Amino acid sequence: DTEVTQTPKHLVMGMTNKKSLKCEQHMGHRAMYWYKQKAKKPPELMFVYSYEKLSINESVPSRFSPECPNSSLLNLHLHALQPEDSALYLCASSQGGRKSYEQYFGPGTRLTVT
């Protein structure tokens, strides 16, 4: 099973709202990722969790707050977003470790900020 699930599929939020995106994998992977993808662009890395610890933050604004409650779950907390944050947010996981293993992606959450 190479499935990564993400909820919700679609989210519309105002600039003053607080919401969370959720991601789950049951492949025993120890690395999990958040990406942001704008239309007609490649995915851009936001955060990497390795063995449940935040290991990479690609200079993401603080209105995005990641959380890894356990090895299977990854959340992205959203607060005071801007309209330009509207995008497809993709979660991925990989085996982790010193080799570069393939990342498996979820279907994404399409976020619209009004």
Partner 1 sequence: AQKVTQAQTEISVVEKEDVTLDCVYETRDTTYYLFWYKQPPSGELVFLIRRNSFDEQNEISGRYSWNFQKSTSSFNFTITASQVVDSAVYFCALSEALGSFGNEKLTFGTGTRLTIIP
Q: Is 22 or 79 the residue whose CB approaches partner 1 more closely?
A: 22
- CA-to-CA distance for 114 and 103, rounded, in angstroms? 31
Residue 112 engages partner 1 in binding (rule: CB under 8 A): no
Percent of residues in the chain assigned helix, strand, coil, to nearest 5: 5, 55, 40
The encoded tokens of residue 113 equal 């900020």
64 in Cβ contact with 44 (< 8 Å): no
103 binds partner 1 (CB under 8 A): yes
Does 108 help bind partner 1 (rule: CB under 8 A)? Answer: yes
Q: Would you count residue 98 as binding partner 1 (CB under 8 A)? A: yes
Residues forming contacts to partner 1 in the complex (CB under 8 A) are: 2, 30-31, 40-43, 45, 48, 50-51, 55-56, 88, 90, 92, 94, 96-108, 110
